[in-house]
């Protein structure tokens, strides 16, 4: 699958607005060339990236594969993930959709594993598995009992280098992907609006198209396209192994060396450089009418820096800003538009910095039944203007930060969420230490930091506003 609302994200452990943020996925490249940061020190021996409970350990195999171990000894289970530093934004022009297409094809088998047997083997051993693709990464995971860890490591290492593909496997799967595109994009009005808004916000940037690709280009993808992509990017020196659960780094290291360390690099390490992107020079509006829509929706996306590009202090301030504006029923926008004025039935704000080059800041409002979308937009703009002219109350700031810190701490109870947090962070320019210490960065945010972040991103002169409306009547 390509990354959607069901996919966890770093924001998911920091903000309750993450579901909307991931669903709309309004993120893009920065307005400057960007090269991905390298992971922490390339030490071959395990070393802790920070001090404190649950702090991960890292080491690097001799073939260049990075390894992250996140301890969680409450139950004899593990979550095993392999992340590749390649996604939809790294595809060759004219061949969009390859990253996601190859994700599907990775389940087609090797000499050791027959087509379709990978997931069945995991299930027979009491586990679960899946995969996901985003703009900057592709990842595969299995959640399974600790004593079955060697099994999934052996299978994952096998398909890293021995995938077998032929037209009889590839072409039917291409039809599956095209049907997924219809189901997730063409049959979902909000997803269609997202596509059009992304294109308006990011123009020619890879972030301006859907992860699943352009339909006319996906229809032309073939076996050699997939194999070329596989041979170039699916190499251990372009991968990160992340294991969360009942295992230590010293226990995992010999297993990692046995299964993954034996895989020789077959391509140079991929160095990602993203071209400069010009944000909209003037405000843009995307209006979409659809017969499947009963009630209108209003969305606005503002250009914003990524977490890595902003730095931890600014990125944390943007998270707090989103929480104060639209993080829940006590937020500024909710109290004003829903409770006080009755202009909307729902409202949220979010910051999405989980991209390699840049992110976005968004606001969403659902007008009250029978209400006009124009009135809702005016109300949102009025409240944002009032916010920029006001001061943040100390209790308001404390409440927002407490909610975000609590979300980050509670997320450590979920192995898959934690493994995802480190994987998405490391593939989009963050370090493991920054991911682990995120609650501390949130605690350090001041009211002045939040207001500075607000003045930086809440600039409607470069934003894209979207309206999803019922079908226009004659």
Among residues 233, 241, 240, which one has the least CA distance to residue 267?
233
Annotated active-site residue in 40, 57, 91, 103: 103
End-to-end CA distance of the chain: 39
Establish whether 103 is a catalytic residue. Answer: yes
Q: What CA–CA distance (Å, rounded) separates 332 from 104?
A: 43
Q: What CA–CA distance (Å, rounded) separates 148 from 243?
A: 13
Q: What CA–CA distance (Å, rounded) separates 392 from 448?
A: 9
Cα distances (angstroms) measured from residue 375 to each of 50, 338, 371, 398:
49, 13, 7, 32
Cα distances (angstroms) measured from residue 351 to each of 190, 304, 456:
19, 8, 13
The torsion angles phi and psi of 265, rounded to 5 degrees, stand at -60, 140
Among residues 88, 95, 64, 79, which one has the least CA distance to residue 138?
88
Pairing of strands 239-245, 66-71: parallel
3-state class of 163 per DSSP? coil
Which tokens in the block code for residue 447? 């009211």
Q: Which residues contact 320 (CB under 8 A, 6 or more apart)?
A: 397, 400, 401, 404, 442, 445, 449, 450, 453
Q: What CA–CA distance (Å, rounded) separates 408 from 198?
A: 28
Cα distances (angstroms) measured from residue 124 to each of 114, 121, 160, 180:
15, 5, 22, 27
The torsion angles phi and psi of 289, rounded to 5 degrees, stand at -105, 140
Q: What CA–CA distance (Å, rounded) separates 278 from 285?
A: 17
Active site residues: 103
């Amino acid at each position: 699958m390509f990354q959607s609302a069901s996919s966890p994200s770093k924001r998911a452990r920091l903000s309750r607005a993450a579901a909307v943020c991931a669903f709309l996925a309004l993120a893009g490249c920065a307005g400057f060339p960007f090269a991905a940061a390298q992971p922490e020190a390339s030490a071959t021996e395990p070393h802790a990236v920070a001090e404190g409970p649950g702090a991960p350990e890292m080491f690097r195999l001799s073939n260049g594969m990075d390894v992250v171990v996140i301890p969680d000894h409450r139950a004899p289970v593990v979550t095993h993930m392999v992340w590749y530093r390649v996604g939809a934004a790294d595809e060759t022009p004219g061949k969009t959709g390859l990253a996601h297409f190859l994700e599907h094809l990775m389940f087609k088998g090797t000499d050791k594993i027959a087509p379709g047997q990978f997931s069945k083997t995991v299930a027979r051993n009491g586990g679960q598995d899946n995969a996901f693709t985003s703009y900057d990464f592709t990842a595969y995971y299995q959640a399974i009992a600790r004593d079955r860890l060697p099994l999934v490591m052996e299978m994952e290492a096998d398909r890293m280098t021995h995938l077998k593909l032929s037209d009889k496997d590839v072409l039917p799967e291409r039809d599956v992907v095209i049907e997924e595109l219809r189901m997730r994009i063409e049959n979902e009005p909000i997803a269609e609006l997202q596509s059009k808004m992304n294109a308006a916000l990011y123009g020619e940037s890879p972030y301006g198209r859907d992860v699943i690709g352009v339909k006319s280009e996906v229809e032309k993808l073939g076996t050699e396209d997939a194999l070329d992509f596989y041979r170039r990017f699916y190499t251990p020196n372009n991968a990160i192994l992340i294991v969360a659960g009942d295992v230590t780094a010293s226990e995992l290291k010999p297993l990692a060396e046995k299964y993954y360390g034996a895989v020789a690099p077959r391509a140079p390490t991929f160095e990602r450089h993203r071209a400069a992107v010009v944000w909209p020079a003037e405000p843009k509006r995307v209006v979409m009418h659809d017969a499947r829509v009963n009630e209108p929706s209003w969305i606005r996306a503002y250009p914003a820096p990524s977490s890595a590009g902003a730095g931890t202090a600014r990125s944390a301030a943007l998270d707090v800003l989103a929480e104060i504006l639209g993080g829940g029923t006590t937020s500024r926008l909710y109290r004003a538009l829903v409770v006080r004025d009755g202009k909307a039935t729902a409202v949220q704000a979010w910051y999405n910095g989980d991209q390699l080059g840049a992110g976005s800041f968004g606001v969403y409002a659902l007008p009250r039944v029978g209400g006009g979308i124009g009135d809702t937009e005016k109300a949102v703009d009025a409240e944002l203007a009032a916010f920029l002219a006001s001061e943040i109350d100390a209790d308001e700031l404390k409440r927002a930060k407490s909610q975000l810190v609590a979300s980050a701490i509670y997320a450590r109870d979920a192995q898959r969420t934690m493994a995802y947090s480190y994987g998405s962070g490391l593939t989009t320019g963050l370090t493991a230490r920054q991911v682990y210490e995120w609650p501390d960065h949130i605690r350090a945010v001041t009211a002045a930091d939040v207001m500075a972040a607000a003045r930086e991103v809440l600039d409607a002169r470069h934003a894209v506003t979207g309206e999803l409306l019922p079908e226009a009547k004659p």
